[in-house]
Structure 1
Amino acid sequence: MERSALYEQLGIRLDMAVEAHEILRQERNADVPGVRIIDGKHEHATVTTVIVESAEGEQAMGKPRGTYITIDAPEIRVNNREIHQKIAAVVASELSRLARLGPQDNVLVVGLGNWHATPDALGPKVVDMTLVTRHLHKYAPEELQGGLRSVSAFAPGVLGLTGIETAEMIKGVVDRTQPSLVIAIDALATRSVERIATSIQLADTGIHPGSGVGNKRSGINRESMGVPVIAMGIPTVVHAGVIAHEAIAALLQEFQTSPTLYKLYKGINPDALQSIIQGVLGPEGQELIMTPKEIDQLIQNTSRIVAAGIGQALHPGIDTSGWTQYLQ
């Protein structure tokens, strides 16, 4: 069974556009119509831009038309502040390119997720480290140095904690503060363990909170908010069904290298993979997601990098080496 079909049957949605494209291209052994790829290279990161340009591309990818930028930086896991600053500069550059803000535009930063669950706490953590200045523009304009843009931020929590749809809360703040742009940060689900806390995705299509782990929430996008929405996310979890499938796929790949085992490989019913995986996981395991034991430190590192990238992109007048002095 093809990965895309198996994931659909298991109810797994790929948050990462670059992963969805990789799977489709492997299955088709050809480029995906209506989708364009641009690759870039930096000292400590590689950047892959997936541009969904047509309705055909939307249908194939399962994602709305728009631009999806993935920054892969394995050294995020290395405890090196200098390298993290350079990765943050890449984030700032890509965010600036995607946002295209004018000098007077104001921005609302929204940290999605549950601050009581570490793998889902990326958004609130980023908000804690975000340089907010909207109040200074109103109450202390004399403190505005270095061309600080008007930025506000909040973390609305999740439906289970507040009883209010996240999109409703954000819409209320948007209507009240009238931002030119909303930046929504959320934790993502990935199909690759290697991508956990090492990849950063930016998209100008908005976001559907919780979709990667099977929760269907109201969308936070231009249509629902009335202003452009850029989604930023970092993978923090992998679905257990994905890990099980990748292990079986690796085993079958080994079968193909042995003439004796190849006959056995050819006799395997692809549809049986789903039954095997579902049988191993059991009823409760269908919603099981996995995260590393060091997720606390990883969330701390990644939230600092994302907040630094946002700060440098939104306040370009501040020197990149000194902007942290403005943090609370």
Structure 2
Amino acid sequence: MIEVNWSRTDLIDESAEVVEHQTKQQKNRLDQTSGVNIDEFSEGRVKVTKVVVDEHGQEQIGKKEGTYITLSVPTLTIDDTNGFEQLEKSFTKYLDDIHQDIEITKDSKVLVIGLGNKTITPDAIGPFAIDSMQNEQSENPSDHFIMYAPGVTGQTGFETSDFIRALTERIKPSLVLVIDALATRGSSRLCKTIQITNTGIHPGSGVGNQRTEVSKEVMGVPVTAIGVPTVVDATVIIADAIDNVFRSIAARIEEKGKPSGKLSVSSWTPDSNQRVDLNLIKPIFGEWSTWSNEDRLQLFEEAFASHPERLIVTPKEVDVWITKYSILISKCLFNWMEHKVK
């Protein structure tokens, strides 16, 4: 097959380079000589993935040197109070972890930038987070945060990075925090994940709109990016749906005749984590039914490569998700700052 770049994602643990290296190392921590260390563990319901890339690793996988922390609650739902509480606790903890080498005093200023287009809901988490922080500021005044939502280049005609650099030069903050919506290549990650990284951010890169980066190298001060994946490529949805159908049919065939299948009093649904033998459905659907999800995704990317429209998908309740994450991020930033300057 012709190689097509299907990994449209802002999450480092989903990037083709890291996934490839994880597979080679059987998804354990990468060998020290590779320059990339991956540590995966759980804290309650929160799955934590910490990726540290050094100078050598940057050359190996093409990702900037620094630390990337991904927090995910796979079973999170809009009304899941417990899930959001656990995610909030972990987010505050790793905000502190990633900034442990940055000195924040009672006189320090932190510039908070909300990237995105407020008129497009899936892209509005940055501006909404700024609104939430301003509301929090009115109730619990803090002299540390300076907040700004610059809009997007398509609205202003001016490079967003230049806006931020001008503010940085004028304010001279100890830290720049950038909040933005991200793209994912896994539909199960939509609105269930937060990524924190001290490498900065390329606005719009996840959906192919590459802009000038917002980073320490450009701004002259440390930059931390906070992102929530709110969109996914339509081809990913297709590949995930077909994978679920194939796995479900194979699991049902495998279960047929077993006592557990006969005792079921309702429609039986296989566990999503259950290993199934896809060779069972090969006589029905042919060779491609046994392909990996990535290979099918590659096939769909090739099939739709010449299509004039590339569809980006977001959950129908995205407005509620955006509101909840805006409040969560705002609350955690104020809690973190209060703890940091004590």
TM-score by length of 2: 0.76
2:40 is equivalent to residue 39 of structure 1? yes
Deviation at 1:197, TM superposition (A): 0.9
CA gap 1:273/1:113 in 2 versus in 1, 3 angstroms? closer
Three-state SS of the structure 1 residue aligned to 2:308 is helix
Contact 1:205/1:222, CA 8 A, preserved across alignment: yes
What residue number does 2:177 align with? 183
CA gap 1:317/1:35 in 2 versus in 1, 3 angstroms? closer
Three-state SS of the structure 1 residue aligned to 2:40 is strand
Three-state SS of the structure 2 residue aligned to 1:300 is helix
What residue number does 1:283 align with? 307
2:143 is equivalent to residue 119 of structure 1? no
Contact 1:187/1:236, CA 8 A, preserved across alignment: yes
Contact 1:37/1:48, CA 8 A, preserved across alignment: yes
Distance, in Å, in 2 between the alignment partners of 1:74 and 1:248 is 20
User: Number of matched residues?
Assistant: 302
2:19 is equivalent to residue 23 of structure 1? yes
What residue number does 1:129 align with? 132
Contact 1:245/1:277, CA 8 A, preserved across alignment: no
2:318 is equivalent to residue 295 of structure 1? yes
Contact 1:107/1:152, CA 8 A, preserved across alignment: yes
Distance, in Å, in 1 between the alignment partners of 2:172 and 2:150 is 17
CA gap 1:258/1:89 in 2 versus in 1, 3 angstroms? closer
What residue number does 2:109 align with? 106
User: Which letter does structure 2 place at the counterpart of 1:181?
Assistant: L
Match of 1:215 among 209, 215, 218: 209
Distance, in Å, in 1 between the alignment partners of 2:295 and 2:44 is 43
Deviation at 1:284, TM superposition (A): 2.6
Distance, in Å, in 2 between the alignment partners of 1:45 and 1:305 is 15
User: Which letter does structure 1 place at the counterpart of 2:43?
Assistant: H
CA gap 1:246/1:83 in 2 versus in 1, 3 angstroms? closer
Which of 117-126 and 247-256 deviates more?
Answer: 247-256
Deviation at 1:275, TM superposition (A): 5.9
What residue number does 1:48 align with? 49
Match of 2:8 among 4, 13, 16: 13
Which of 298-307 and 40-49 deviates more?
Answer: 40-49
CA gap 1:278/1:43 in 2 versus in 1, 3 angstroms? same
Instruction: State the identity %.
Output: 34
Equivalence map 1:102-251=2 (5 Å) = 102-104=104-106, 105-130=108-133, 148=142, 150-247=144-241
Contact 1:188/1:212, CA 8 A, preserved across alignment: yes
Deviation at 1:28, TM superposition (A): 3.0
Three-state SS of the structure 2 residue aligned to 1:283 is coil
Which of 308-317 and 229-238 deviates more?
Answer: 308-317
- Superposed CA deviations along residues 88-111 of structure 1, whole A, max 9, x for unmatched, are 232111111112233243211000
Contact 1:133/1:149, CA 8 A, preserved across alignment: no
Contact 1:149/1:315, CA 8 A, preserved across alignment: no
What residue number does 1:66 align with? 66
CA gap 1:171/1:280 in 2 versus in 1, 3 angstroms? closer
Greater RCO, CA 8 A, separation 6+: 1
Distance, in Å, in 1 between the alignment partners of 2:320 and 2:311 is 22
User: Which letter does structure 2 place at the counterpart of 1:158?
Assistant: V
Three-state SS of the structure 2 residue aligned to 1:77 is coil
TM-score by length of 1: 0.79
Contact 2:205/2:211, CA 8 A, preserved across alignment: yes
Deviation at 1:305, TM superposition (A): 1.1
Contact 1:127/1:153, CA 8 A, preserved across alignment: yes
CA gap 1:243/1:81 in 2 versus in 1, 3 angstroms? closer
2:333 is equivalent to residue 310 of structure 1? yes
Three-state SS of the structure 1 residue aligned to 2:97 is helix
